[in-house]
Chain A
């Protein structure tokens, strides 16, 4: 692995960690699509910064983009506050218009300069080792590492300082307001930090990867744990793993690094979606099956307890009629009930064991 590879990978890990920290709150507060909106809406800001500085300039680009991000957030809220436009629709009106304005400005005034609209969508993290930060005569190494490191530091400070306040404002805004922190203030602080992160990460990885790194690792962590602190840790871990594995995939396929990192966040999410023991689809459907069998076994036991020794009522074939079970299901339930020792089966007739009688008795007491 060359030096330049290492810089690219490290840049990816730093961005992923910075994004995942904030993403956790976005996912919990149901504001994930604001990340998408901001990441597109900053394009006209970057163009205006380019125009004011007469060329690519880090500070002007940053300020322009941050201003555009704030305009986007304020615009969406203003539209929502008119009560004429729903939340998603408000986002869908504001950010494409701003993105269109950006592409319009580029093609009208900068058609022949290098302000590539493609880079807006998928960035150029590949070249992060080439951009060197030089202050005075001093060479400080790759610029991207400094920017992303600073973002990570800002976000860590933010989450560290306001951990309790953010937690309260996220899970119980009413209580937060009653205790005297303003949930609205927390909201705007979060939006500001998010805009800054998006702007910083945008130059390296483009609009879409910012969205992927903010939302997907946090959502993955949300499927894996019920504790906020663990969710933040897992989100950062998944983000960093996606960055590293995505970089390796991109090298192997000779394809876009940003795209591969986004794809890997999707792979991790897919794994958690299917196999998370807590909230995964497989575990969920197994739980559902267990519950169905449990309730069915309970009805079976109660039915048998209500008709002790009645030949017609205890026949397995009769259950299909009496309890309206599908034949396959009825067989499955009786087999499980026999295996678990609630029922015995002789010549197609069922009888309760002591354990089965006890269960039916308990049920009668609880009702």
Chain B
């Protein structure tokens, strides 16, 4: 057995990091696909920043650093942010991108206030908390991975159950409404599932890079297919592959953080897909066009 594969299975740290990153890749790939198709690519960015005050408040209230408590806090404030965001977009003339920026920066600013308040209030370090900013996959323990697996399974189960509804909501919301589907609650449900993906990602890749975990796999997968089901599977695959690749690179090279390596691996896959995917890639399309042009010229002469 090659040593790297051996480590992947038997090395405790590497196994947890790789599993965690792969889980994140699968969940965010699938949920990110819906977000990207609904033209809400940056929703995850706003929600991941909005999770920070929830983490800090959960710690302030319970004095506990257990992942479940902190992630519940994160999910709660992410969810509040979602509702505020949807409300601003629906009921005011402020455009969606400005609403995203507002929610992102004010929630995050409040989170930083709480984080610095906590760290200066008691001398005990808040090291458990600030790793959510940049993600420290290397500190993932088995309990974290299990928490992530449970959350991820719940989110994916919800997608399977509501697949038809989400599909129609994504591609033709007016038609969905005319069929009598309650598009408002469905929209909130879909966004809440994205909150779960964000919560899973916080500890692995951190607040800033989470945006790419939701957008990247979806954009890459979209270039290879025109079918939603295929796209979801491909996006999950792209997410998982970049997760494991990032974990392997960061562990085999000294002093490389996992999160950025996951994102850089993902970015390579995204640009490769944009360039060379047979269905929508730039090079294949250019090739098809030049052949058509040549055929046209020939037919004319």
What separation, in Å, do the CA atoms of A175 and B91 have in the docked complex?
29
Contacting chain A: which of B39-47, B67-75, B182-190?
A: B39-47
Q: Does A301 contact B (CB under 8 A)?
A: no
Docked complex: A96-118 residues within 8 A CB-CB of B: 96-97, 99-101, 103-104, 107-108, 111, 117-118
Given A88-B42, A121-B133, A212-B109, the answer on whether A107 and B256 have CB atoms closer than 8 Å is: yes
Docked complex: A236-257 residues within 8 A CB-CB of B: 249-250, 253-256
What separation, in Å, do the CA atoms of A304 and B128 have in the docked complex?
71
Given A208-B109, A223-B92, A256-B112, the answer on whether A27 and B133 have CB atoms closer than 8 Å is: no
Q: Which residue of B lies closest to A31 (CB)?
A: B97
Q: Which residue of A lies closest to B210 (CB)?
A: A96
Q: Which residue of B lies closest to A89 (CB)?
A: B41
Given A256-B115, A259-B113, the answer on whether A215 and B91 have CB atoms closer than 8 Å is: no
Chain A: minimal CB distance from B126 (Å)? 12
Q: Does B148 contact A (CB under 8 A)?
A: no
Asked if A107 contacts B105 (CB within 8 A), the reply is no
Asked if A262 contacts B260 (CB within 8 A), the reply is no
Q: Does A48 contact B (CB under 8 A)?
A: no
Of B36, B215, B267, chain A has the most CB atoms within 10 Å of the CB of B215
What separation, in Å, do the CA atoms of A85 and B44 have in the docked complex?
16
Asked if A85 contacts B274 (CB within 8 A), the reply is yes
Of B93, B95, B116, chain A has the most CB atoms within 10 Å of the CB of B116
Q: 1/0 contact trace for A185-198 toward B, CB 8 Å? A: 00000000000000
Asked if B223 contacts A254 (CB within 8 A), the reply is no
Q: Which residue of A lies closest to B109 (CB)?
A: A262
What separation, in Å, do the CA atoms of A283 and B87 have in the docked complex?
15
Asked if B109 contacts A259 (CB within 8 A), the reply is yes
Q: Does A151 contact B (CB under 8 A)?
A: no
What separation, in Å, do the CA atoms of A121 and B130 have in the docked complex?
12
Q: Does A66 contact B (CB under 8 A)?
A: no
Given A93-B219, A219-B94, A266-B109, the answer on whether A103 and B117 have CB atoms closer than 8 Å is: no
Q: Which residue of B lies closest to A276 (CB)?
A: B92
Asked if B264 contacts A33 (CB within 8 A), the reply is no
Asked if B130 contacts A261 (CB within 8 A), the reply is no
Q: Does A134 contact B (CB under 8 A)?
A: no
Given A27-B94, A33-B42, A281-B91, the answer on whether A212 and B105 have CB atoms closer than 8 Å is: yes
- Chain A residues, Cβ within 8 Å of B167: none
Q: Does B34 contact A (CB under 8 A)?
A: no
What separation, in Å, do the CA atoms of A50 and B244 have in the docked complex?
31
- Chain A residues, Cβ within 8 Å of B261: 100, 104
- Chain A residues, Cβ within 8 Å of B92: 223, 273, 279, 281, 284
What separation, in Å, do the CA atoms of A258 and B130 have in the docked complex?
16
What separation, in Å, do the CA atoms of A36 and B210 have in the docked complex?
14
What separation, in Å, do the CA atoms of A319 and B40 have in the docked complex?
46
- Chain B residues, Cβ within 8 Å of A122: 112
What separation, in Å, do the CA atoms of A255 and B270 have in the docked complex?
40
Q: Does A35 contact B (CB under 8 A)?
A: yes
From A30, A103, A208, B134 is in contact (CB under 8 Å) with A103
From B40, B91, B95, A30 is in contact (CB under 8 Å) with B95
Asked if A263 contacts B106 (CB within 8 A), the reply is yes
Q: Does B209 contact A (CB under 8 A)?
A: yes
Asked if A86 contacts B39 (CB within 8 A), the reply is yes
Asked if A93 contacts B102 (CB within 8 A), the reply is no
From B106, B218, B255, A212 is in contact (CB under 8 Å) with B106
Q: Which residue of A lies closest to B130 (CB)?
A: A118
- Chain B residues, Cβ within 8 Å of A86: 36, 39, 41
Asked if A254 contacts B117 (CB within 8 A), the reply is yes
Q: Which residue of B lies closest to A215 (CB)?
A: B101
What separation, in Å, do the CA atoms of A281 and B92 have in the docked complex?
8
Asked if B109 contacts A260 (CB within 8 A), the reply is yes
From B105, B215, B222, A209 is in contact (CB under 8 Å) with B105
Asked if B117 contacts A216 (CB within 8 A), the reply is no
Asked if B274 contacts A84 (CB within 8 A), the reply is yes
Asked if A103 contacts B260 (CB within 8 A), the reply is yes
Asked if B267 contacts A121 (CB within 8 A), the reply is no
Asked if A99 contacts B104 (CB within 8 A), the reply is no
Asked if B120 contacts A265 (CB within 8 A), the reply is no
Asked if A108 contacts B255 (CB within 8 A), the reply is yes
- Chain B residues, Cβ within 8 Å of A101: 260, 264
Asked if B114 contacts A258 (CB within 8 A), the reply is no
Chain A: minimal CB distance from B94 (Å)? 5
- Chain A residues, Cβ within 8 Å of B282: 82, 84
Chain B: minimal CB distance from A348 (Å)? 38
Asked if A219 contacts B112 (CB within 8 A), the reply is no
Asked if A209 contacts B109 (CB within 8 A), the reply is yes
Q: Does A133 contact B (CB under 8 A)?
A: no
Q: Does A211 contact B (CB under 8 A)?
A: yes
Of A33, A87, A117, A281, chain B has the most CB atoms within 10 Å of the CB of A33
- Chain A residues, Cβ within 8 Å of B115: 256, 259
Given A36-B104, A100-B259, A260-B109, the answer on whether A88 and B39 have CB atoms closer than 8 Å is: yes
- Chain A residues, Cβ within 8 Å of B145: none
Of A86, A87, A117, chain B has the most CB atoms within 10 Å of the CB of A86
Of B97, B99, B256, B261, chain A has the most CB atoms within 10 Å of the CB of B97
Q: 1/0 contact trace for A204-231 toward B, CB 8 Å? A: 0000110110111011001100000000
| Given A40-B208, A91-B42, A262-B108, 14 further pairs, Cβ under 8 A | A33-B101, A36-B101, A86-B39, A87-B39, A92-B44, A93-B212, A96-B209, A97-B264, A107-B255, A208-B108, A216-B102, A216-B106, A256-B112, A266-B107
> Which of B's residues lie within 8 Å of A, judged by CB?
36, 39-42, 44-45, 49, 87-88, 91-95, 97-102, 104-117, 120-121, 130, 133-134, 208-212, 214-216, 218-219, 222-223, 255-257, 259-261, 263-264, 267, 270, 274, 280, 282
What are 8 of the A-B contact pairs (CB < 8 Å)? Answer: A30-B95, A36-B42, A89-B218, A93-B219, A93-B267, A104-B261, A107-B257, A259-B111
- Give the 6 A-B CB pairs with smallest separation, nearest first: A262-B109, A266-B106, A259-B112, A96-B212, A92-B215, A89-B41
